[in-house]
């Protein structure tokens, strides 16, 4: 580029020189124009054209330099904007990580509160007192002076069987509080708070159980399925917080001392 400009400059100088020479010769032969006169005019015209071309190329070069500068400035502004966005995203990411840690800590605290509440409930519920069998009234001696009919009535009354103690129709449990089953002391006949399981005795030592249909008790169970459902139920689908519990088959229990042992777990599924 610089060499071309240098050559064009020399061409302009040569043209002007030849033009001056031609004018000098014209002065000597002023009577009529000669070949050198025309040659000087042509060279002067070419020098003018070369000067215009040189000016035009300089202008184009400066325009290109200015556009490159503007492009470089725009790119630097774009890089700054992108770096600002990246820094903003990093700050948002750090804030989200802090919030997630806080939520995890709250979930752990809630689980600890629920488990402590279950333990307190298991210890606070009084055990069902054993019903003592009624003693048959002692037979009063028959006085010789009383009639024979009164003696027969007293003997018939003494031969009546003792009343049969019927088990409760339904029992309620909050969770399987002992390994492999429900403790007798944790069962209640009339719940005063949400109870997850309903136990129905089918005999002196047999019973069935199922998850209650109470929405509030189901929400409590779904808030921590591991603590409330896993020990007593088999899942046919994955539990979710906003879903409902559907019973597929009831579980089976057998009374062993102070514990209702789970012979067969209940089958449940979840739906929204």
Final residue of a domain: which of 33, 55, 80? Answer: 80
- Sheet (strand 206-211) strand order: 171-173, 197-201, 206-211, 251-256, 259-264, 181-183
Host domain of residue 32? 2-80
Q: Is 60 a domain residue?
A: yes
Enter the pTM of the model. 0.41
What region does 180 belong to: left with phi over 0, alpha with psi -120 to 50, or beta?
left
Final residue of a domain: which of 80, 104, 135? Answer: 80
pLDDT at 142: 47
pLDDT at 55: 82
Q: Is 102 a domain residue?
A: no
How far, in Å, CA of 225 to CA of 243, rounded? Answer: 12
For each successive 10 residues of the chain (272 residues), what is the average pLDDT? 58 62 55 67 81 83 83 74 87 88 85 78 56 54 50 56 65 94 94 94 95 93 91 91 90 95 95 84
Final residue of a domain: which of 28, 45, 80? Answer: 80
Q: Is 57 a domain residue?
A: yes
Q: Is 17 a domain residue?
A: yes
pLDDT at 149: 56
Q: Is 139 a domain residue?
A: no
Q: Is 104 a domain residue?
A: no
Tokens of 217: 């008790």
Q: Is 45 a domain residue?
A: yes
Q: Is 210 a domain residue?
A: yes
In the chain, how many domains are there? 2
* Helix, strand, or coil (residue 180): coil
pLDDT at 110: 84
């Amino acid at each position: 580029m610089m060499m071309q400009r240098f050559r064009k400059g020399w061409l302009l100088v040569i043209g002007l020189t030849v033009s001056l020479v031609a004018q000098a010769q014209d002065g000597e032969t002023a009577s009529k124009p000669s070949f050198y006169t025309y040659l000087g005019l042509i060279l002067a015209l070419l020098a003018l054209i070369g000067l215009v071309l040189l000016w035009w190329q300089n202008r184009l070069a400066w325009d290109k330099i200015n556009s490159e500068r503007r492009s470089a400035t725009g790119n630097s502004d774009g890089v700054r904007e992108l770096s600002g966005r990246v820094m903003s995203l990093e700050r948002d990411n750090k804030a989200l990580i802090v919030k997630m840690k806080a939520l995890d800590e709250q979930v752990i605290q809630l689980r600890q509160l629920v488990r402590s509440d279950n333990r307190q409930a298991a210890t606070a519920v009084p055990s069902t007192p054993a019903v003592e069998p009624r003693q048959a009234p002692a037979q009063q001696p028959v006085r010789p002076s009383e009639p024979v009919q009164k003696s027969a009535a007293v003997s018939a009354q003494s031969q009546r069987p003792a009343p049969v103690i019927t088990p409760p129709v339904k029992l309620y449990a909050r969770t399987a509080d002992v390994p492999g089953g429900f403790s007798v002391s944790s069962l209640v006949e009339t719940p005063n708070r949400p109870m997850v399981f309903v136990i129905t005795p089918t005999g002196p030592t047999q019973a069935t159980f199922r998850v209650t249909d109470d929405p509030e008790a189901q929400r409590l169970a779904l808030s921590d399925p591991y603590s409330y459902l896993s020990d007593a139920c088999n899942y046919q689908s994955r539990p979710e917080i906003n879903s409902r519990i559907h019973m597929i088959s009831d579980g089976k229990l057998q009374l062993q001392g102070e514990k209702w042992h789970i012979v067969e777990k209940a089958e449940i599924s979840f739906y929204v």
